[in-house]
Amino acid sequence: MNANEPRDALQTLDKARSKFQPSFVNEYFTAMAYARMKDSTNALKHLVAAEVVARATDTNRLTHTFYFQLGAAYERAHKLMDDKVEYRRLVDAKLTALGASPTAPAVTPAASSAAASAAAGASR
């Protein structure tokens, strides 16, 4: 693909797909080849397949960079992301990349004010 020959890359990836089990790498690079060819629908299809494979085999592949590519593919394919599912995955991946727990409870201004008041009352 670095030779800017996405069609040749797709032929190689198709041969690999026929010989090996589904893999994140194959699906991801197939998506990138289609993206270079401006075929957003197939790029999106293969990114979603890459996500499915990664969720089953290697969730470390699901980085904020991957989800950026997935979001861009949705946008290019003119499909809106389900804000309750896809956007949450993007946020979770970014939080994980930053070292924060995506499942930790959110700290709201009201909760932090109450905690500060409780701490001040306990020190008296």
By 3-state DSSP, what share of the chain in percent is helix, strand and coil, each rounded to 5? 70, 0, 30
pLDDT tens digit string along 44-96? 999 999 999 999 999 999 999 999 999 899 888 876 556 667 777 777 777 77
pLDDT score of 104: 64
In the chain, what are the domains?
6-101 (1.25.40)
Contacts of 53 (CB under 8 A, 6+ apart): 22, 23, 24, 27
In terms of pLDDT, which residue wins out, 101 or 121? 101
pLDDT score of 120: 58
pLDDT score of 24: 95
For the entire predicted model, the pTM comes to 0.63
